[in-house]
Amino acid sequence: MVNSAAHRSSDTQPIDALIVGAGFAGMYMLHKLRGQGMNAKVVEAGSGVGGTWYWNRYPGARVDIQSLEYSFGFDERLESEWRWSERYAPQAELLRYAEHVADRFDLKRDIRFDTRVTAAHWDEAAQLWRVETDRGARTDCRHLILATGCLSIPTDVTFPGLDTFKGPIYRTSRWPHEGVDFSGQRVGIIGTGSSAIQSIPVIAAEAAHLTVFQRTPNYSMPAHNGPIPHADFEAWSKDPRAYRAASKDTGGGFQNEANATTLATETAPDAVRAELERRWAWGGFRILGAFADTGIDPAANRIVQDFIAEKIRAQVADPAVADLLTPKDHPFGTKRPCVDTGYYATFNRPNVELVDLRATPLKAFNAQGIATSARQYDFDAVVLATGFDAMTGAIDRIDLRGVGGRRIKDHWAEGPRTYLGLMVAGFPNMFTITGPGSPSVLTNMINSIEQHVEWIADCLVSLSRHQQTSIEASAEAEAAWCRHVAEAVTPTLLPQANSWYMGANVPGKPRMFMPYAGGLHRYTEICNQVAAKDYEGFIIRQGDRVLSDSHVFTSHPPMPDIPASLWPIIIERLTAAGLMPATA
Ligand code: N01
């Protein structure tokens, strides 16, 4: 049983690495380790590869980073033989791409599908991870690599009377593979995050009537989806290597014309407007990078908020509905903005209704539908687009125990602590891909995945070359990294929103900004420096013998060039958070 996992031995020989998850991270990790001659296997809960794109099959699901950049760059032939059909590929095409990658590199023979890892205990004496699954399979491995995804576990949100509803209830993140036909139906949807904002226009076009239950509005920018513009494809295909290198050398891991010098507050209003209009017309996340101060200075942020509010008013015919759809409780960009196709205009349709759950709270489900404090809504089907237990959910649902049987849940009781978002003190030979404390969800995930996979693979080569048996983050380096993660985000407006980045969407979850906000480019530099300094901050052992036990983390990145007029705000926030000594 689970409690004895560390004390029994498996009937099979230990393998070099067990990878949990067969999304893009797990697939590339497997390919990479195989290439190094390691015996690696993957365990995947789903019946196929693709992770996010396997599970999230809701209508309208598509990527929000341009597909040219949201694809693997590690293999030139793979890169040259795949053609994306649109700027932002739909879920089905992304899943085909994942399947193609799996077939291209013959990955499936080492993936055990329909199997969930339930427990993994570190056996100190044997220097092995002893892993159990819900199928009763046991595997011993030297390295455990969690490629479990940042948004893979739906929140446990429930509503009184949910079970009494007589119609089907669909979760966007667990959509039926055969699809759903809403024709002629009265449909209700709860939530207005990215999943809802993508699915609402598609469901509205099919259903007889759609009722949208909104608690908090979000900012959404137009995708302007369509064929990949010729100029973009040319820029990319001229030299994909250089294009990808340039993408990885940015804060977000994709090309966004990020402006690090011009301040919205110090630019003439006409020029500000022209720049915002240009970026709005380009679409997607481009508006995020318009000015250097919008992520830091509330006055600058307000300029963009007002601009988007005006855009919402221009798209929604009823001013009261437009007002309801306009975010007021968080600065722009502090929750992940959405990228939509026709979202706001959908509220002009006669068959779509918006319900404000702040004004009329949801009381309960019943057999016919949903009752709010104001009235009853009858439905044939209901969709829950209620979000994820982000970043930690998939990890802390595994009974993970490190040195001395310490549980990850206890180690993370006050929020996830990692060193570089790659390893956890007291959990030797356990790596996380795009884990908390790494740039992950603030970036183009594929580029972040490639960086992590390659760093981990190099680390395992180094261990093996030197006959080292284990590597573990030191508690001191972990603490120093957590402090640096806080230093990176505190000067920004990001902590001001009740976002899933902060764990705020899950009752009882510790409030802590989980991803690293210092940018992928600087983060990569830090990881490379740490490796170059013989894995600074890590304890490396050969059996019982400690070979190297660096407890420090000194590889701080150069501070970004922040315009001087923003320094007073930054210093004030760092001082208030106790991250900078107060000056006399
Ligand atoms: O989830 P969310 P999501 N009663 O947490 C509401 C990525 N993604 O699945 O804000 C009523 O954003 C909740 O309301 P509130 C992307 O990173 C990417 O949409 O808590 N409502 C909110 O409106 C994204 O950020 C793409 O007041 C309740 C909604 O449910 C992340 O996944 C596409 C409620 C949840 O929104 C998560 O997006 C989709 C309750 N009890 C997702 N509980 C791409 O484009 C929750 N809500 C690639």
Q: How far apart are CA 151 and CA 388, in angstroms?
A: 6
Q: How far is CA 294 from the centre of its chain?
A: 22
- In tens, the pLDDT along 294-336 reads 999 999 999 999 999 999 999 999 999 999 999 999 999 999 9
One-character DSSP codes across 392-437: THHHHTSEEE-GGG-BHHHHTTTS---BTTTB-TT-TTEEETT-TT
Residues 529-555, mean pLDDT to the nearest whole number? 90
Q: Where are the alpha helices (DSSP H) in 149-223?
A: 194-206
Provide the pLDDT for residue 559: 73
Q: How far apart are CA 319 and CA 317, in angstroms?
A: 6
Q: Whose C-alpha lies nearest to ligand 1, atom 37?
A: 387
- In tens, the pLDDT along 346-402 reads 999 999 999 999 999 999 999 999 999 999 999 999 999 999 999 999 999 999 999
Q: Is 195 in the pocket of ligand 1 (CB under 6 A)?
A: yes
Q: Is 216 in the pocket of ligand 1 (CB under 6 A)?
A: yes
Provide the pLDDT for residue 9: 52
- In tens, the pLDDT along 16-75 reads 999 999 999 999 999 999 999 999 999 999 999 999 999 999 999 999 999 999 999 999
The model's pTM is 0.96
- In tens, the pLDDT along 181-234 reads 999 999 999 999 999 999 999 999 999 999 999 999 999 999 999 999 888 889
Which of 69, 151, 171, 358 for a ligand 1 pocket mutation test, highest count of atoms within 8 Å of Cβ?
151
Q: How far apart are CA 491 and CA 295, in angstroms?
A: 9
| CA-based nearest residue to 368, from 559, 140, 188 | 188
Residues 266-271, mean pLDDT to the nearest whole number? 98
Residue 284's contacts (CB-CB under 8 Å, 6 or more residues apart) are 64, 65, 66, 88, 221, 223, 224, 339
Q: Coil, helix or strand for 354?
A: strand
| pLDDT confidence bin for 4, thresholds 50/70/90 | very low
Residues of 478-496 as b/e, b for ≥16 C-beta within 10 angstroms? bbbbbebbbbbbbbbbbbe
**Phi/psi of residue 142, each to 5°?**
-75, -35
| pLDDT confidence bin for 584, thresholds 50/70/90 | very low
Q: How far apart are CA 122 and CA 272, in angstroms?
A: 56
Q: How far apart are CA 122 and CA 429, in angstroms?
A: 9
Residue 6 scores a pLDDT above 50? no
Provide the pLDDT for residue 2: 41
- In tens, the pLDDT along 145-188 reads 999 999 999 999 999 999 999 999 999 999 999 999 999 999 99
State the closest ligand 1 atom to the C-alpha of 387, by its place in the atom list counted from 1.
1
Task: Compute CA distances 447 → 180, 279, 453, 458, whole Å.
Answer: 33, 23, 10, 17
- Rg of the chain (C-alpha set): 24
Q: Is 192 in the pocket of ligand 1 (CB under 6 A)?
A: yes
Pair 579, 486: CB distance under 8 Å: yes
CB atoms within 10 A of CB 352: 20
Task: Compute CA distances 203 → 167, 174, 206, whole Å.
Answer: 16, 16, 5
State the closest ligand 1 atom to the C-alpha of 504, by its place in the atom list counted from 1.
20
Strands (E), 181-268: 186-190, 209-214, 220-222
Task: Compute CA distances 399 → 48, 375, 405, whole Å.
Answer: 24, 44, 10
Q: Where are the alpha helices (DSSP H) in 38-165?
A: 52-55, 76-81, 91-104
Residue 141's contacts (CB-CB under 8 Å, 6 or more residues apart) are 14, 15, 16, 17, 18, 41, 128, 129, 131
Instruction: HSE, CB side, 13 Å, CA atoms: give it for residue 219.
Output: 28
Q: Is 340 in the pocket of ligand 1 (CB under 6 A)?
A: no
Residues 401-430, mean pLDDT to the nearest whole number? 98
Q: Whose C-alpha lies nearest to ligand 1, atom 16?
A: 194
- In tens, the pLDDT along 416-426 reads 999 999 999 99
Q: Coil, helix or strand for 40?
A: strand
Provide the pLDDT for residue 90: 98
CA of 71 to the centre of ligand 1 (A): 24
Kindly give the interhelix angle for 445-465 and 240-248, rounded to the nearest 10 degrees.
Answer: 90
Q: Which two tokens stand for residue 225?
A: 């989806």
Provide the pLDDT for residue 543: 86
Cross-strand bridge partners of residue 117? 133
Provide the pLDDT for residue 11: 52
Residue 74's contacts (CB-CB under 8 Å, 6 or more residues apart) are 28, 32, 450, 454
| % of the chain with per-residue pLDDT over 70 | 98
Q: How far apart are CA 236 and CA 64, in angstroms?
A: 18
Q: How many residues are present in the chain?
A: 584
State the closest ligand 1 atom to the C-alpha of 500, by its place in the atom list counted from 1.
5
| CA-based nearest residue to 502, from 384, 411, 390, 412 | 390
Sign of the four-CA dihedral 340, 393, 160, 374: negative
Pair 21, 51: CB distance under 8 Å: yes
Provide the pLDDT for residue 550: 83
437: left (phi over 0), alpha (psi -120 to 50) or beta: left
Which of 505, 506, 509, 514 for a ligand 1 pocket mutation test, highest count of atoms within 8 Å of Cβ?
505
Summary mean pLDDT of the chain: 95
- In tens, the pLDDT along 446-459 reads 999 999 999 999 99
